[in-house]
Structure 1
Amino acid sequence: MKRTSLFLDDRLLAALQRVARRKRVSVAALVREAVSAYLAQAATPARVPSIAGRFASGTRDTAERTDDLLWRDPHE
């Protein structure tokens, strides 16, 4: 494990210390846990919202007409 330094404002450090005391862990352990959780979340691809595909548009060729639909002049 490597040592590193962080610059935290007083409010953030106080909040970390409170949580660390409540969880009975060191601030360093809490920071490692938070960074690990953040990196795991950042590495996970974004999910498609569960609502996607739930409604019918009334047209069946939307995928084939993507360019026409996206690039047409909306004022025509």
Structure 2
Amino acid sequence: MKRTTIYLDPELELLLKLEARRTKKPMAEIIREVLRKGITAKRPRSRYVGAFDSGHTTDAERFEEVLDELGFGEPENS
């Protein structure tokens, strides 16, 4: 594990100490648990994602054309 320093306001420090006492866990362990839960929590997708069509095609939708433009198309008959 990597050691780091964080700054807590007095209220948060008190809450952390109380939780450590209640759970009989070190404060560092509680901080790691809370960070892990917060960082790995699934975030709900915005209800607007995919709701609108810009009208622009993406390269994925025209992959054959893009490959041709880049010179990766069918070889020409000589």
Question: TM-score normalised to the size of structure 1?
Answer: 0.56
Q: Secondary structure at the match of 2:35?
A: helix
Question: Greater RCO between the two (CA within 8 Å, min separation 6)?
Answer: 1
- Provide structure 2 residue ranges, at least 5 long, that are not aligned to the other structure: 54-78
Q: Residue 44 of structure 2 aligns with which residue?
A: 46
Q: Distance in 2 between matches of 1:11 and 1:45?
A: 27
Equivalence for 1:37: 37
Distance 1:45 1:34 in 2: 16
Aligned length: 50
Residue identity over aligned pairs, in percent, reads: 34
The higher radius of gyration belongs to 2
Structure 1 residue 2: deviation in Å? 0.3
Partner of 1:72: none
Aligned to 2:14: 14
Q: RMSD of the TM alignment (CA)?
A: 2.3
Q: By how many angstroms is 1:47 displaced?
A: 5.8
* Distance across 2 between alignment mates of 1:46 and 1:19: 28
**1:45 & 1:11 partners in 2: Cα distance?**
27
User: Counterpart in 1 of 2:5?
Assistant: 5
- Cα deviation, 1:3-62, whole Å, max 9, x if unaligned, reads 000000111101000001100000000000000000111xx241689xxxxxxxxxxxxx
